[in-house]
Amino acid sequence: MVYVFLANGFEEMEALAPVDVLRRAGVEVNTVGVGSDVVVSSHNIPVKADITVDKIVLNDELE
């Protein structure tokens, strides 16, 4: 699992382009909203994150 953190003021291309490429490659990716599930980009575009920080599941085991 790859987590991409999104906070208010994020750059769309820096965050969402890698998410798109990874998902097309079959990698499981979740966007994580910092502070809220709806995050506003630097160009005032609201993006709904897949999950919020409190929903992250960390695992010490390597897959």
What's the confidence (pLDDT) of residue 57? Answer: 81
Write out pLDDT tens, residues 1-31.
899 999 999 999 999 999 999 999 999 999 9
What's the confidence (pLDDT) of residue 58? Answer: 81
CB atoms inside a 10 Å sphere around CB 60 = 4
- Would you say how long the chain is, in residues? 63
Helix, strand counts (H, E) of the chain: 1, 5
- Biggest CA–CA distance in the chain, Å, is 38
What average pLDDT is seen over the chain?
Answer: 93
Q: Strand pairing partners for 11?
A: none
Considering the entire predicted model, what is its pTM? 0.87
Write out pLDDT tens, residues 27-59.
999 999 999 999 999 999 999 999 999 999 887
Contact 6/47 with Cβ under 8 angstroms?
A: yes
